[in-house]
Amino acid sequence: MASGKTTFGRALAGALGRTFVDLDDYISRQTGMSVSEIFAKHGEARFRQLEREAIETIANAGDGRSVVACGGGTPCFGDNMTLLNSAGLTVWLDAPISTIMRRLREDRGGRPLVAKLDDGGELEAYVTDNLRKREPYYSRAHVRFDSSRLENEAEIAESVEKFLKLLE
């Protein structure tokens, strides 16, 4: 969450001439509801089911030329990480907690899991706890990349260039 998946993914897809898919947006288009609405009306379990179905659809229908930004919890449910790893190159976008906290404070609207947490201890405890719980899943990604420098167009371009050099 707030590691820059959509920002970086969109820029990377553009640099590679590939299609960009934001998994949350894909699910919203398929259901006609925002992620927040799905959580409110049907709960997290239903959202995770929709998420899995979307991953399977994209993986099976794709030509391997898409850049897909998954939600922060996506790899942590069922065998999603195994599916993601088999579908293509997976990347753990890793940013310091301070960067994640700042980004979350600036934009919480579409984030139902943190929308009601206070800016102080609750939010930081949630982020720290989630990162600790999710790290075993994230660590299974093919590549780990520092996503702390995505704050403006120049940083985004530099990050994409740096990432592409890693793949050479």
According to the model, what pLDDT value does residue 85 have? 95
Confidence label for 1 from pLDDT (cuts 50, 70 and 90): confident
pLDDT 10s digits, 129-159: 999 999 999 999 999 999 999 999 999 999 9
- Domain 5-148 = CATH 3.40.50.300: yes
pLDDT 10s digits, 56-86: 999 887 667 899 999 889 999 999 999 999 9
Q: Is 20 helix (H, G, I), strand (E, B) or coil?
A: strand
According to the model, what pLDDT value does residue 60 have? 86
Instruction: Compute the distance between CA of residue 125 and CA of residue 127 in angstroms, rounded to an integer.
Output: 6
Kindly calculate the radius of gyration of the chain based on its CA atoms and give it in whole angstroms.
16
H or E stretch covering 22: strand 19-22
Q: Which two tokens stand for residue 71?
A: 């939600």
pTM, 2 dp:
0.88
Q: Is 93 helix (H, G, I), strand (E, B) or coil?
A: strand
pLDDT 10s digits, 2-39: 899 999 999 999 999 999 999 999 999 999 999 889 99
Confidence label for 115 from pLDDT (cuts 50, 70 and 90): confident
Q: Is 142 helix (H, G, I), strand (E, B) or coil?
A: coil
What residues have CB less than 8 Å from 125, skipping those under 6 apart? none
Compute the CA torsion angle 139, 146, 83, 28 (nearest 10 deg). 130
